[in-house]
Structure 1
Amino acid sequence: QRGMNLTDEALKEVMQQIIKLNPKPGGDAGEMNKVDSYIIPDFFIFNNAGRLELSLNNKNAPDLRISDTYREMMREYERGSKKDKRQKEAVLFIKQKIDAAKWFIDMIKQRQQTLAVTMEAIMNHQKDFFLTGDETNLKPMILKDIAEKTGLDISTVSRVANSKFVQTEFGTYRLKYFFSESLSTDSGEEVSTREVKKILSDMIEREDKRKPLSDEQLTDMLNQKGYNIARRTVAKYREQLNIPVARLRKQL
């Protein structure tokens, strides 16, 4: 600014132009089409006058049934008067395929049941969030909590949480979003670390950008609010929120 004799306003204007530039212009060449990355939710949660209603998206799992053609074919073979070796082999082959199809359909139904039970347990645990959409209403919840409520294995709950999405009136979320560790307050109450991250994010958003808050100041402010948290933990949460350090948040 001194070298080019720029005013504060002129420097701000130049900085705004630089911020808009892409330092890696070739990176867009292989960008995925937005249509290809569209998320199709696996569950829907509706708020019906304060009562939460859960439904599965059955588009990816249509109603499965065995074709009557094969059943009729098997009946014809069984009605036949001459049962030579070839007919017996045909009947056995069709019967094996029908049994395999029945097993497959049963497994799909069991999978749907597992998904429904898991999502219902999550919905009940995080009821306040699904009613309000307020992140600070998210309760501490780990995989073990849902596994104990559903009677499922932790690895099963983990696979569901990492790969499935739920659509709510507040947006579409990966189930993993609702899981978080707990943190104790001065009163001994356990709160979700996601709640702390939300408060931390709000603090940084409201700060004076000419004098951004340091991690030490943020830690003190959280401690004053009753959250027992160390500076290194605040720094870790800030990084997880993709928020830079104070000196990089400074604006003219």
Structure 2
Amino acid sequence: MLKQSLQFKLSQKLSPQQIQLMKLIQLPTQAFEQRLQEELVENPALENGKEEVEDYDDFNDTNDDYDDYEDNERIETDDINIDEYLSNDETPDYKYQTNNYSDDDEEKSMPFVAGVTFHQDLLNQLHTFILEDSEREIAEFLVGSIDDTGYIRRSIQDIVDDLAFTQGIYTDETTVERILTIVQELEPAGVGARDLQECLLLQLKHKTPTESIDLAIDIIQNQFDAFTKKHYDKLLQKYEVTKEQLKKGIDEIEKLNPKPGGAYDGNQKPIEHVVPDFTIKIVDGELELLLNGRNAPELHISKDYQEMLQSYKDTSEKSASQKDAVQFIKQKLDSAKWFIDAIKQRQETLFVTMNAIMHYQQEYFLEGDETKLRPMILKDIADMVGLDISTVSRVANSKYVDTPYGTKLIKDFFSEAMKNDQGEDVSTIEIKKILQNVIDAEDKMKPLPDDKLAELLKEKGYPIARRTIAKYREQLDIPVARLRKKI
């Protein structure tokens, strides 16, 4: 049995323009510039630069009655032909090119550098070795099995099986082991190792033998477990050396690269340059906030497009084809006007949000002491500026600010609050800074365990549980006491 019923439902949906605005707000400076260039290419009614133009709002009131025009009306105007203008968009780029250059002219194009990959470099080195064809095939397969960090993460038996199944090369583990020692002679030292111990050992054996190097080799080869656990007393007793001699041997180990593949220039990822979105300066003891000028481009609506629309408005006879063309122009003009307004709103949102953060954390920005950072959550700033929490989050998550104390990620200024022994709210950032200072000042021969760190912070007025200390220590990327021990 079918039933019909009427229900009222209240829902909130974002318009496409609002979604686009949120995306613009979220973009940092460099990504915003890229988005701006894309819009300039896609919308010919939007132009870069400053220009005196008529108020575009005048056209909105005079061009909303397209549906009232009859299809049999025609337009005749000497000022502009919209069909010809639109046809320019279809003209191929090559028709604008000329051939006025002599063959003797100097080449102006910039040459491109063809880089050599990490694995290609290893293969090039391998070609300098004298090997039989069967050995070379195995060696090249081993090089192909090396990951980007320089390790072979597979067992010899697996490699033997793969050679048989995928390459049709039938060999044994002894042969592969022998050829692996040849691969491990390639540069950088340590490449082709199967684990960290072997990697360190290969690098040490590439060094000129000294008393310290010999001790380091013996430690890695025979006392690797004691070394990784920093049982220095056991090592002193084992080798019957002084603390200074042991320290020199350990220093040689600490100079080694645990990821030899990462040292290869051709294997490194491009360095990302941070462009600050804001700048905070101290002028006469007062804070001054500046928005990066690249976030405030000068844009205007194309005068040609406005004249096309004005020409159509002033013409009494209008055809269906001209009506379609002008509707296209009107769409582009609307899009350009919205984009300009959206950029202005983005500028205002960024500035008022960062300005609120600056004043909320005024004491820190004036002194640079991280212990002066106040507890601050997204809602605190959202309430100050009258924006939604999600908007504040979009501003904070991907933006940087240039301060007198370095370039900082804005979201790092946000933290939860905890009570000190006087019942005052303090920032978790402040507590982490105190914890960092305590660990930095500890005796590295006898580093402090988490329970002792908890006691020391309690004495300083921060009653924190041991498990909280462990959590903050991990967030600061500080190892446990045993691994902080030094001789």
Give the TM-score taking structure 2 as reference length.
0.49
> How many residues in Structure 1 have an aligned counterpart in Structure 2?
250
Bigger Rg over Cα:
2
Match of 2:370 in 1: 135
Match of 2:268 in 1: 31
Match of 1:8 in 2: 243
Q: Secondary structure at the match of 1:167?
A: strand
2:413 corresponds, among 169, 173, 178, to 178
2:479 corresponds, among 230, 244, 250, to 244
| 1: CA distance, partners of 2:268 / 2:388 | 38
2:311 corresponds, among 64, 76, 81, to 76
| 2: CA distance, partners of 1:168 / 1:69 | 44
Poorly superposed stretches of 4+, deviation over 6 Å:
none
Unaligned runs of 5+ in 2: 1-234
Q: Which amino acid aligns with 1:208?
A: D
Identity, in percent, stands at 59
Q: Which amino acid aligns with 1:159?
A: R
How much does 1:93 deviate? 1.8
The answer to whether the 8 Å contact 2:295/2:347 transfers is no
Distance 1:60 1:110, change over 3 A: closer
How much does 1:238 deviate? 0.9
| 1: CA distance, partners of 2:238 / 2:459 | 44
Q: Secondary structure at the match of 2:301?
A: coil
Q: CA RMSD in A?
A: 1.6
| 1: CA distance, partners of 2:436 / 2:238 | 36
Q: Secondary structure at the match of 1:139?
A: coil
- Which fold has the larger relative contact order, with Cα–Cα distance below 8 Å and residues 6 or more apart in sequence? 2
The answer to whether the 8 Å contact 1:183/1:228 transfers is no
Match of 1:194 in 2: 429
Note the alpha carbon deviations across 1:79-131, whole angstroms, 9 max, x for none.
44642222222222212211111111111211111111111111111000111
How much does 1:69 deviate? 1.8
1:65 pairs with 2:300? yes
Q: Secondary structure at the match of 1:65?
A: strand
Q: Secondary structure at the match of 1:191?
A: strand
1:152 pairs with 2:379? no
1:115 corresponds, among 325, 350, 364, to 350
1:161 corresponds, among 371, 390, 396, to 396
Unaligned runs of 5+ in 1: none
How much does 1:20 deviate? 1.8
How much does 1:149 deviate? 1.2
Match of 1:218 in 2: 453
| 2: CA distance, partners of 1:76 / 1:199 | 70
Note the alpha carbon deviations across 1:199-245, whole angstroms, 9 max, x for none.
11111111111111111111111111111211111111111111111
| 2: CA distance, partners of 1:28 / 1:155 | 41
Compare 144-153 and 67-76 and name the one that shifted more.
67-76
